[in-house]
Homo-oligomer: A and B are copies of this chain.
Amino acid sequence: MSPQDPTQHSDTLVKAVLPESEMPTQWYNIVPDLPEAPPAHLHPGTREPLSVEDMAPIFGRALCEQEFSTERYIDIPQAVQEVYRIWRPSPLMRARRLERALGTSARIYYKYEGTSPIGSHKANSSVPQAYYNSLEGVQRLTTETGAGQWGSALAFACGVFDMECEIWQVRASYDGKPYRRMLMETFGGIVHPSPSDLTEAGQAMLAKDPTTTGSLGMAVSEAVEAAAKSGGSAKYALGSVLNHVVLHQSIIGEEVLRQLPMFGEEQADVVYGCAGGGSNLAGLAFPLLRERLAGRTDTRFVAAEPTACPSLTQGRYEYDHGDVAGLTPLLKMYTLGQDFVPDPIHAGGLRYHGMAPLLSFTHHLGLVDALAVGQQDAFEAGVLFARTEGLVPAPESCHAIAAALADARARTSPQDSAAIVIGLSGHGQLDLPAYSAYLSGSLADTAQ
Protein backbone atom coordinates (compact mmCIF):
# COMPACT_ATOMS: atom_id res chain seq x y z
CA MET A 1 0.00 0.00 0.00
CA SER A 2 1.28 3.47 -0.74
CA PRO A 3 1.55 6.31 1.75
CA GLN A 4 -1.82 7.84 2.27
CA ASP A 5 -3.09 11.34 1.75
CA PRO A 6 -2.17 13.08 5.03
CA THR A 7 -5.52 14.85 4.97
CA GLN A 8 -7.18 11.52 5.74
CA HIS A 9 -5.45 11.33 9.09
CA SER A 10 -6.81 12.73 12.28
CA ASP A 11 -5.42 16.19 12.88
CA THR A 12 -5.63 16.23 16.63
CA LEU A 13 -5.81 12.72 18.05
CA VAL A 14 -2.85 12.01 20.32
CA LYS A 15 -3.88 8.83 22.08
CA ALA A 16 -6.04 6.02 20.72
CA VAL A 17 -7.69 4.29 23.64
CA LEU A 18 -9.95 1.30 23.24
CA PRO A 19 -12.75 0.61 25.70
CA GLU A 20 -12.37 -2.59 27.66
CA SER A 21 -15.15 -4.11 25.61
CA GLU A 22 -12.86 -3.99 22.56
CA MET A 23 -9.89 -5.61 24.24
CA PRO A 24 -8.88 -8.69 22.22
CA THR A 25 -10.15 -11.88 23.84
CA GLN A 26 -7.84 -14.27 21.98
CA TRP A 27 -4.10 -14.55 21.60
CA TYR A 28 -2.74 -15.09 18.10
CA ASN A 29 -0.39 -17.94 17.24
CA ILE A 30 1.48 -17.30 13.99
CA VAL A 31 2.62 -20.91 13.50
CA PRO A 32 -0.25 -22.07 11.24
CA ASP A 33 0.11 -18.97 9.04
CA LEU A 34 3.84 -19.27 8.36
CA PRO A 35 4.85 -20.40 4.86
CA GLU A 36 6.43 -23.50 6.37
CA ALA A 37 6.50 -25.17 9.78
CA PRO A 38 9.15 -23.77 12.12
CA PRO A 39 11.94 -26.13 13.27
CA ALA A 40 11.03 -28.18 16.34
CA HIS A 41 12.65 -27.71 19.74
CA LEU A 42 14.94 -30.69 20.47
CA HIS A 43 15.49 -32.67 23.65
CA PRO A 44 18.94 -31.73 24.99
CA GLY A 45 19.83 -35.37 25.64
CA THR A 46 18.32 -37.31 22.74
CA ARG A 47 18.17 -34.46 20.19
CA GLU A 48 14.74 -35.80 19.29
CA PRO A 49 11.84 -33.34 18.92
CA LEU A 50 10.71 -32.18 22.35
CA SER A 51 7.30 -33.20 23.71
CA VAL A 52 4.85 -31.82 26.24
CA GLU A 53 5.87 -34.63 28.58
CA ASP A 54 9.51 -33.58 28.35
CA MET A 55 8.67 -30.03 29.43
CA ALA A 56 5.90 -30.67 31.95
CA PRO A 57 8.14 -31.50 34.93
CA ILE A 58 9.48 -27.96 34.81
CA PHE A 59 6.72 -25.81 33.24
CA GLY A 60 2.97 -25.80 33.85
CA ARG A 61 1.18 -28.26 31.56
CA ALA A 62 -1.17 -25.77 29.91
CA LEU A 63 1.84 -23.66 28.98
CA CYS A 64 3.64 -26.70 27.58
CA GLU A 65 0.60 -27.42 25.42
CA GLN A 66 0.61 -23.82 24.18
CA GLU A 67 4.30 -24.21 23.37
CA PHE A 68 3.47 -26.85 20.76
CA SER A 69 0.08 -25.56 19.66
CA THR A 70 -0.75 -25.09 15.99
CA GLU A 71 -4.12 -23.46 16.73
CA ARG A 72 -4.35 -20.01 15.19
CA TYR A 73 -6.27 -18.41 18.07
CA ILE A 74 -6.30 -19.33 21.75
CA ASP A 75 -8.90 -17.88 24.12
CA ILE A 76 -7.62 -15.61 26.87
CA PRO A 77 -9.14 -16.93 30.12
CA GLN A 78 -11.63 -14.60 31.80
CA ALA A 79 -9.49 -14.38 34.95
CA VAL A 80 -6.53 -13.25 32.86
CA GLN A 81 -8.65 -10.73 30.99
CA GLU A 82 -9.75 -9.24 34.29
CA VAL A 83 -6.15 -8.60 35.33
CA TYR A 84 -5.17 -7.38 31.85
CA ARG A 85 -7.89 -4.74 32.21
CA ILE A 86 -5.86 -2.97 34.90
CA TRP A 87 -3.80 -1.53 32.06
CA ARG A 88 -5.10 -3.00 28.82
CA PRO A 89 -5.97 -2.03 26.17
CA SER A 90 -2.75 -0.03 26.30
CA PRO A 91 -2.61 3.26 24.39
CA LEU A 92 -1.37 3.76 20.85
CA MET A 93 0.03 7.28 20.77
CA ARG A 94 0.82 9.70 17.95
CA ALA A 95 4.17 11.37 18.65
CA ARG A 96 3.27 14.77 17.25
CA ARG A 97 5.83 16.82 19.18
CA LEU A 98 8.57 14.36 18.24
CA GLU A 99 7.55 14.61 14.58
CA ARG A 100 7.82 18.39 14.72
CA ALA A 101 11.23 18.22 16.43
CA LEU A 102 12.50 15.93 13.66
CA GLY A 103 10.92 17.88 10.80
CA THR A 104 9.78 14.58 9.36
CA SER A 105 6.90 13.93 7.02
CA ALA A 106 6.41 10.55 8.66
CA ARG A 107 3.58 9.90 11.07
CA ILE A 108 5.15 8.37 14.16
CA TYR A 109 3.11 6.19 16.51
CA TYR A 110 4.16 4.32 19.60
CA LYS A 111 2.43 1.46 21.34
CA TYR A 112 3.05 2.11 25.02
CA GLU A 113 3.31 -0.91 27.35
CA GLY A 114 4.68 1.10 30.26
CA THR A 115 1.23 1.60 31.77
CA SER A 116 1.31 -1.93 33.18
CA PRO A 117 1.76 -2.31 36.96
CA ILE A 118 5.42 -3.15 36.58
CA GLY A 119 6.06 -0.70 33.76
CA SER A 120 6.68 -3.05 30.84
CA HIS A 121 5.13 -5.60 28.50
CA LYS A 122 6.38 -8.49 30.68
CA ALA A 123 3.11 -8.58 32.63
CA ASN A 124 1.30 -9.76 29.47
CA SER A 125 2.91 -13.17 29.94
CA SER A 126 3.48 -13.31 33.69
CA VAL A 127 -0.26 -13.06 34.37
CA PRO A 128 -1.32 -16.05 32.24
CA GLN A 129 1.71 -18.05 33.39
CA ALA A 130 0.74 -17.55 37.03
CA TYR A 131 -2.92 -18.20 36.27
CA TYR A 132 -2.45 -21.52 34.45
CA ASN A 133 -0.02 -22.76 37.08
CA SER A 134 -2.41 -21.81 39.88
CA LEU A 135 -5.18 -23.83 38.18
CA GLU A 136 -2.88 -26.84 38.18
CA GLY A 137 -2.31 -26.58 41.92
CA VAL A 138 1.20 -25.19 41.69
CA GLN A 139 1.91 -23.21 44.85
CA ARG A 140 5.12 -21.45 43.89
CA LEU A 141 6.80 -20.18 40.74
CA THR A 142 10.55 -19.84 40.43
CA THR A 143 12.38 -17.68 37.97
CA GLU A 144 15.53 -15.69 37.36
CA THR A 145 15.84 -12.02 36.66
CA GLY A 146 18.63 -9.82 35.42
CA ALA A 147 17.59 -6.19 35.48
CA GLY A 148 14.41 -7.14 37.32
CA GLN A 149 11.66 -6.50 34.76
CA TRP A 150 10.57 -10.11 34.46
CA GLY A 151 11.03 -10.81 38.16
CA SER A 152 8.76 -7.93 39.14
CA ALA A 153 6.19 -8.96 36.51
CA LEU A 154 6.06 -12.49 37.90
CA ALA A 155 5.97 -11.32 41.52
CA PHE A 156 2.99 -9.12 40.67
CA ALA A 157 1.17 -11.95 38.87
CA CYS A 158 1.82 -14.50 41.62
CA GLY A 159 0.43 -12.05 44.16
CA VAL A 160 -2.76 -11.73 42.16
CA PHE A 161 -3.28 -15.51 42.07
CA ASP A 162 -2.17 -16.17 45.68
CA MET A 163 0.99 -18.01 44.76
CA GLU A 164 4.49 -17.64 46.10
CA CYS A 165 7.17 -16.28 43.82
CA GLU A 166 10.85 -17.04 44.32
CA ILE A 167 13.29 -15.08 42.22
CA TRP A 168 17.02 -15.51 41.73
CA GLN A 169 18.36 -12.09 40.82
CA VAL A 170 21.87 -11.84 39.38
CA ARG A 171 24.07 -10.65 42.26
CA ALA A 172 25.41 -7.64 40.32
CA SER A 173 21.86 -6.46 39.71
CA TYR A 174 20.67 -7.36 43.23
CA ASP A 175 23.37 -5.13 44.70
CA GLY A 176 23.41 -2.43 42.03
CA LYS A 177 19.72 -2.01 41.14
CA PRO A 178 17.93 -2.13 44.48
CA TYR A 179 14.71 -0.44 43.27
CA ARG A 180 13.60 -3.42 41.18
CA ARG A 181 14.37 -5.78 44.07
CA MET A 182 12.24 -3.59 46.32
CA LEU A 183 9.45 -3.65 43.74
CA MET A 184 9.50 -7.46 43.68
CA GLU A 185 9.39 -7.55 47.47
CA THR A 186 6.56 -5.03 47.62
CA PHE A 187 4.53 -7.38 45.43
CA GLY A 188 5.35 -10.17 47.88
CA GLY A 189 8.16 -11.86 45.95
CA ILE A 190 11.07 -13.59 47.69
CA VAL A 191 14.31 -12.46 46.11
CA HIS A 192 17.67 -14.21 46.41
CA PRO A 193 20.94 -12.95 45.06
CA SER A 194 22.38 -15.45 42.60
CA PRO A 195 24.50 -17.44 43.07
CA SER A 196 22.90 -18.42 46.36
CA ASP A 197 23.64 -21.24 48.78
CA LEU A 198 20.08 -22.52 48.35
CA THR A 199 20.82 -24.70 45.33
CA GLU A 200 23.53 -27.13 44.36
CA ALA A 201 24.27 -25.07 41.29
CA GLY A 202 24.69 -21.96 43.40
CA GLN A 203 26.79 -23.71 46.03
CA ALA A 204 29.12 -25.04 43.33
CA MET A 205 29.47 -21.58 41.84
CA LEU A 206 30.19 -20.00 45.23
CA ALA A 207 32.72 -22.70 46.08
CA LYS A 208 34.52 -21.91 42.85
CA ASP A 209 34.41 -18.14 43.29
CA PRO A 210 32.98 -16.75 46.55
CA THR A 211 33.09 -13.19 45.20
CA THR A 212 31.31 -13.79 41.88
CA THR A 213 28.67 -11.26 40.84
CA GLY A 214 26.70 -13.98 39.06
CA SER A 215 25.24 -14.31 35.59
CA LEU A 216 21.80 -14.78 34.06
CA GLY A 217 22.72 -18.31 32.99
CA MET A 218 23.62 -19.22 36.57
CA ALA A 219 20.39 -17.72 37.88
CA VAL A 220 18.39 -19.80 35.37
CA SER A 221 20.09 -22.93 36.63
CA GLU A 222 19.20 -22.10 40.24
CA ALA A 223 15.55 -21.34 39.47
CA VAL A 224 15.14 -24.48 37.34
CA GLU A 225 16.81 -26.63 40.01
CA ALA A 226 14.52 -25.24 42.71
CA ALA A 227 11.44 -26.10 40.64
CA ALA A 228 12.73 -29.53 39.63
CA LYS A 229 13.43 -30.50 43.24
CA SER A 230 10.14 -29.19 44.65
CA GLY A 231 8.22 -32.41 44.12
CA GLY A 232 5.72 -30.64 41.92
CA SER A 233 4.73 -27.85 44.30
CA ALA A 234 6.84 -25.38 42.33
CA LYS A 235 7.27 -24.79 38.60
CA TYR A 236 9.61 -22.61 36.64
CA ALA A 237 8.53 -19.62 34.52
CA LEU A 238 10.38 -17.97 31.65
CA GLY A 239 9.79 -14.41 30.50
CA SER A 240 10.75 -14.51 26.83
CA VAL A 241 12.09 -16.67 23.97
CA LEU A 242 9.59 -19.57 24.09
CA ASN A 243 6.54 -19.86 21.84
CA HIS A 244 3.99 -19.59 24.65
CA VAL A 245 5.49 -16.29 25.79
CA VAL A 246 5.38 -14.94 22.23
CA LEU A 247 1.77 -16.08 22.08
CA HIS A 248 0.79 -14.11 25.19
CA GLN A 249 2.47 -10.97 23.89
CA SER A 250 0.39 -11.07 20.67
CA ILE A 251 -2.26 -8.98 22.40
CA ILE A 252 0.00 -5.99 21.75
CA GLY A 253 -0.25 -6.27 17.98
CA GLU A 254 -3.91 -7.25 18.03
CA GLU A 255 -4.69 -4.00 19.80
CA VAL A 256 -2.58 -1.99 17.35
CA LEU A 257 -4.62 -3.38 14.46
CA ARG A 258 -7.76 -2.02 16.15
CA GLN A 259 -6.15 1.34 17.02
CA LEU A 260 -4.50 2.39 13.75
CA PRO A 261 -7.86 2.98 12.03
CA MET A 262 -8.77 5.42 14.82
CA PHE A 263 -6.02 7.65 13.39
CA GLY A 264 -7.21 7.05 9.84
CA GLU A 265 -4.36 4.67 9.06
CA GLU A 266 -5.03 1.64 6.87
CA GLN A 267 -1.78 -0.02 7.90
CA ALA A 268 1.54 0.42 9.65
CA ASP A 269 4.16 0.97 6.96
CA VAL A 270 7.15 0.15 9.16
CA VAL A 271 7.24 -1.40 12.65
CA TYR A 272 10.26 -1.03 14.92
CA GLY A 273 10.72 -3.02 18.10
CA CYS A 274 13.67 -3.77 20.33
CA ALA A 275 14.70 -7.40 20.41
CA GLY A 276 16.49 -9.17 23.25
CA GLY A 277 14.75 -12.47 23.79
CA GLY A 278 12.26 -11.38 21.13
CA SER A 279 8.87 -11.52 22.83
CA ASN A 280 8.21 -7.79 22.74
CA LEU A 281 8.79 -7.38 19.00
CA ALA A 282 7.11 -10.68 18.13
CA GLY A 283 4.07 -9.73 20.19
CA LEU A 284 3.72 -6.45 18.36
CA ALA A 285 4.68 -7.72 14.92
CA PHE A 286 3.06 -11.12 14.44
CA PRO A 287 -0.59 -10.01 14.24
CA LEU A 288 0.49 -7.38 11.70
CA LEU A 289 2.60 -9.99 9.88
CA ARG A 290 -0.53 -12.15 9.59
CA GLU A 291 -2.14 -9.30 7.66
CA ARG A 292 0.88 -9.02 5.39
CA LEU A 293 1.07 -12.78 4.77
CA ALA A 294 -2.61 -12.64 3.80
CA GLY A 295 -1.82 -9.94 1.23
CA ARG A 296 -3.81 -7.23 2.97
CA THR A 297 -0.81 -4.99 3.79
CA ASP A 298 2.84 -4.58 2.93
CA THR A 299 4.07 -3.68 6.42
CA ARG A 300 7.82 -3.94 6.98
CA PHE A 301 9.21 -5.16 10.32
CA VAL A 302 12.54 -4.20 11.85
CA ALA A 303 14.17 -5.68 14.95
CA ALA A 304 16.48 -3.24 16.76
CA GLU A 305 19.08 -5.06 18.79
CA PRO A 306 22.09 -3.69 20.70
CA THR A 307 25.51 -3.69 19.07
CA ALA A 308 26.70 -5.29 22.32
CA CYS A 309 24.52 -8.37 21.74
CA PRO A 310 23.76 -8.63 18.01
CA SER A 311 22.26 -12.10 17.71
CA LEU A 312 20.16 -11.44 14.58
CA THR A 313 22.74 -9.32 12.74
CA GLN A 314 25.91 -11.16 13.77
CA GLY A 315 24.79 -14.54 15.11
CA ARG A 316 24.35 -17.90 13.40
CA TYR A 317 21.02 -19.62 12.75
CA GLU A 318 21.51 -22.96 14.44
CA TYR A 319 20.41 -25.15 17.32
CA ASP A 320 21.67 -23.87 20.67
CA HIS A 321 20.81 -24.06 24.33
CA GLY A 322 18.84 -21.29 26.01
CA ASP A 323 21.14 -21.24 29.03
CA VAL A 324 24.83 -21.32 29.83
CA ALA A 325 24.82 -24.71 31.50
CA GLY A 326 23.10 -26.44 28.59
CA LEU A 327 20.17 -27.77 30.61
CA THR A 328 17.43 -26.31 28.42
CA PRO A 329 16.05 -27.76 25.20
CA LEU A 330 17.92 -27.08 21.99
CA LEU A 331 16.24 -24.22 20.15
CA LYS A 332 16.76 -23.35 16.47
CA MET A 333 17.57 -19.66 16.68
CA TYR A 334 19.97 -16.90 15.80
CA THR A 335 22.57 -17.15 18.52
CA LEU A 336 25.93 -15.79 19.53
CA GLY A 337 26.63 -19.04 21.37
CA GLN A 338 25.38 -20.22 24.77
CA ASP A 339 28.58 -18.98 26.45
CA PHE A 340 28.52 -15.50 24.89
CA VAL A 341 28.72 -12.83 27.59
CA PRO A 342 27.57 -9.42 26.34
CA ASP A 343 29.02 -6.20 27.66
CA PRO A 344 27.03 -4.88 30.63
CA ILE A 345 24.92 -2.34 28.75
CA HIS A 346 22.08 -0.65 30.62
CA ALA A 347 19.45 -2.33 28.45
CA GLY A 348 19.65 -5.47 30.56
CA GLY A 349 16.60 -6.92 28.86
CA LEU A 350 18.50 -7.13 25.56
CA ARG A 351 21.50 -9.02 26.92
CA TYR A 352 20.55 -12.49 25.71
CA HIS A 353 22.74 -14.62 23.50
CA GLY A 354 19.90 -16.05 21.44
CA MET A 355 16.57 -14.94 19.98
CA ALA A 356 13.04 -16.37 20.17
CA PRO A 357 12.84 -19.30 17.73
CA LEU A 358 9.68 -17.94 16.08
CA LEU A 359 11.19 -14.49 15.58
CA SER A 360 14.42 -16.11 14.37
CA PHE A 361 12.45 -18.14 11.87
CA THR A 362 10.61 -15.12 10.44
CA HIS A 363 13.95 -13.33 10.14
CA HIS A 364 15.41 -16.39 8.41
CA LEU A 365 12.48 -16.31 5.96
CA GLY A 366 13.12 -12.64 5.20
CA LEU A 367 9.89 -11.45 6.80
CA VAL A 368 11.55 -9.43 9.59
CA ASP A 369 14.64 -7.26 9.11
CA ALA A 370 17.20 -6.44 11.78
CA LEU A 371 19.74 -3.77 12.61
CA ALA A 372 22.01 -3.06 15.57
CA VAL A 373 22.01 0.18 17.59
CA GLY A 374 24.80 1.47 19.84
CA GLN A 375 24.11 2.46 23.43
CA GLN A 376 24.98 6.14 22.89
CA ASP A 377 22.59 6.41 19.95
CA ALA A 378 19.91 4.64 21.96
CA PHE A 379 20.09 7.09 24.87
CA GLU A 380 20.35 10.10 22.57
CA ALA A 381 17.06 8.99 21.05
CA GLY A 382 15.59 8.31 24.47
CA VAL A 383 16.38 11.79 25.76
CA LEU A 384 14.89 13.44 22.66
CA PHE A 385 11.81 11.27 23.13
CA ALA A 386 11.53 12.18 26.81
CA ARG A 387 11.86 15.90 26.12
CA THR A 388 9.30 15.94 23.32
CA GLU A 389 6.80 13.25 24.30
CA GLY A 390 7.27 13.49 28.05
CA LEU A 391 7.82 9.77 28.63
CA VAL A 392 11.20 8.45 29.74
CA PRO A 393 11.55 5.20 27.78
CA ALA A 394 13.16 2.03 29.07
CA PRO A 395 16.75 1.67 27.78
CA GLU A 396 15.60 -1.37 25.82
CA SER A 397 12.88 0.64 24.06
CA CYS A 398 15.40 3.36 23.23
CA HIS A 399 16.95 0.99 20.69
CA ALA A 400 13.68 0.81 18.76
CA ILE A 401 13.25 4.58 19.00
CA ALA A 402 16.74 5.21 17.66
CA ALA A 403 16.11 2.96 14.67
CA ALA A 404 12.78 4.62 13.98
CA LEU A 405 14.22 8.13 14.25
CA ALA A 406 16.87 7.37 11.65
CA ASP A 407 14.10 6.26 9.32
CA ALA A 408 11.88 9.26 10.10
CA ARG A 409 14.68 11.79 9.65
CA ALA A 410 15.15 10.55 6.09
CA ARG A 411 11.51 11.29 5.26
CA THR A 412 11.07 14.97 4.58
CA SER A 413 8.59 15.24 1.72
CA PRO A 414 4.93 14.25 1.58
CA GLN A 415 5.88 11.55 -0.96
CA ASP A 416 8.17 9.96 1.63
CA SER A 417 5.55 9.96 4.34
CA ALA A 418 4.78 6.72 6.13
CA ALA A 419 3.11 5.42 9.25
CA ILE A 420 5.90 4.29 11.57
CA VAL A 421 4.96 2.28 14.64
CA ILE A 422 7.42 1.93 17.51
CA GLY A 423 7.04 -0.73 20.16
CA LEU A 424 7.60 1.19 23.39
CA SER A 425 7.99 -1.81 25.63
CA GLY A 426 8.28 0.05 28.93
CA HIS A 427 9.19 3.14 30.88
CA GLY A 428 12.60 3.94 32.28
CA GLN A 429 11.80 5.46 35.66
CA LEU A 430 13.83 2.78 37.42
CA ASP A 431 16.67 3.22 34.89
CA LEU A 432 17.34 6.88 35.59
CA PRO A 433 20.94 6.32 36.67
CA ALA A 434 21.63 5.20 33.10
CA TYR A 435 20.14 8.42 31.74
CA SER A 436 22.17 10.36 34.27
CA ALA A 437 25.34 8.64 33.06
CA TYR A 438 24.46 9.48 29.47
CA LEU A 439 23.73 13.14 30.28
CA SER A 440 26.99 13.51 32.19
CA GLY A 441 28.96 12.02 29.30
CA SER A 442 30.17 9.05 31.28
CA LEU A 443 28.37 6.37 29.30
CA ALA A 444 30.54 4.07 27.23
CA ASP A 445 29.15 3.06 23.87
CA THR A 446 28.70 -0.55 24.77
CA ALA A 447 29.58 -0.93 28.45
CA GLN A 448 28.37 0.60 31.71
Contact = CB atoms under 8 A, between A and B. Distances in A.
A34 interface: no
24 contacts: A12-B20, A13-B85, A14-B85, A15-B86, A17-B17, A17-B19, A83-B390, A86-B391, A97-B160, A115-B115, A117-B390, A118-B390, A159-B386, A160-B388, A178-B436, A179-B430, A179-B433, A182-B435, A183-B429, A186-B387, A186-B432, A186-B436, A187-B387, A430-B430
A344 to B, nearest CB: 19
A96 interface: yes
Instruction: Please provide the 9 A-B residue pairs with the shortest distance between their CB atoms, ordered closest to farther.
Output: A117-B390, A14-B85, A182-B432, A182-B436, A159-B387, A186-B435, A17-B17, A179-B432, A429-B429
A389 B187 CA distance: 10
Contact of A439 (B18, B186, B435): B186
A430 B180 CA distance: 10
Nearest to A183: B432
A86 B389 CA distance: 8
Contacts of A188: 387
A65 interface: no
A64 interface: no
B390 A156 contact: yes
A308 interface: no
Interface in A156-204: 156, 159-160, 178-179, 182-183, 185-188
A383 interface: yes
Contacts of A18: 17
Contact of A93 (B86, B387, B430): B86
A435 B184 CA distance: 11
A150 to B, nearest CB: 15
B14 A186 contact: no
A312 interface: no
Interface in A419-448: 429-430, 432-433, 435-436, 439
B179 A391 contact: no
A377 interface: no
Given A182-B436, A186-B432, A390 B115 contact: no
Given A20-B13, A86-B15, A186 B433 contact: no
Contacts of A71: none
A392 B86 contact: no
**Most chain B CB atoms below 10 A, which of A86, A185, A435, A439:** A86
A391 B117 contact: yes
A107 to B, nearest CB: 16
A213 B324 CA distance: 48
A82 interface: yes
A119 interface: yes
B119 A429 contact: yes
Given A20-B13, A160-B97, A183 B389 contact: no
Contacts of A430: 179, 429-430
Interface string A71-113: 0000000000011011100000100110000000000000000
B435 A82 contact: no
A284 to B, nearest CB: 20
Nearest to A83: B390
Contacts of A383: 186
